[in-house]
């Protein structure tokens, strides 16, 4: 299993960051290079507790579909999305928000395991972890940019 922990400071109040992070529309915008789109479940707006979203995207030259569910949520402090169907053996993403003066610190704790036992572990270590980290950093940069518009 791999774990990625990212901390991102956003120049916006906690409530705004919380909503930007659970915006389906903003997520699709941040993943436009991967042609990621919401195709089932909550396909636009703000996703909520126990709601699912099914994504279709092209990553690493392959098309994938993945369904995630918001399993926990405490507004505006945190929410957790977990893969219920998709390409990973396991995927759990904690989104944590804390006020830092007039700004908000967003913490991502992204845990995942690739399928295929030892082969998946090798793939995780060689390139998948760094690839996933770049995607998360790009997503957070999009949140920062969107927050600056207000």
Q: What is the pLDDT of residue 119?
A: 73
Q: What is the pLDDT of residue 99?
A: 97
Q: DSSP assignment of 44-93, as one string?
A: SSB--TT-EEEEEEEETTEEEEEEEEEEEEETTTEEEEEEEESSSSEEEE
Where do the domains of the chain lie?
A: 2-147
Give per-residue pLDDT as tens, 117-134: 787 677 778 888 999 999
Q: In the CATH hierarchy, which fold is given to the domain comprising 2-147? A: Alpha-D-Glucose-1,6-Bisphosphate; Chain A, domain 4 (3.30.530)
Q: What is the pLDDT of residue 84?
A: 98
Query: How would you write the pLDDT of the chain (150 residues) with one tens digit per residue?
Result: 899 999 999 999 999 999 999 999 999 999 998 889 999 999 999 999 999 999 999 887 889 999 999 999 999 999 999 999 999 999 999 999 999 999 999 999 999 998 887 876 777 788 889 999 999 999 999 999 999 887
Sign of CA dihedral 102, 110, 44, 143: positive
Question: Given its phi and psi angles, is residue 50 left (phi above 0), alpha (psi -120 to 50 degrees) or beta?
Answer: left
Q: What is the pLDDT of residue 14?
A: 97
Total residues found in the chain within this entry: 150
């Amino acid at each position: 299993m791999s774990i990625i922990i990212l901390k991102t400071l956003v120049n916006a109040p906690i409530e705004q960051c919380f909503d930007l992070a659970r915006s389906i529309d903003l997520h699709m915008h941040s993943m436009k290079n991967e042609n990621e789109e919401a195709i089932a479940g909550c396909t636009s707006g703000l996703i909520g507790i126990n709601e699912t979203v099914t994504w279709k995207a092209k990553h690493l030259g392959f098309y994938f579909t993945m369904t995630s569910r918001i399993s926990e949520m405490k507004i505006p402090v945190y929410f957790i999305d977990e893969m219920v169907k998709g390409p990973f053996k396991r995927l759990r993403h904690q989104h944590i928000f804390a006020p830092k003066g007039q700004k908000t610190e967003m913490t991502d704790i992204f845990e995942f395991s690739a399928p295929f036992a030892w082969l998946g572990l090798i793939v995780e270590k060689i390139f998948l972890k760094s690839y996933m980290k770049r995607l998360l950093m790009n997503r957070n940069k999009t949140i920062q940019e969107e927050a600056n518009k207000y």
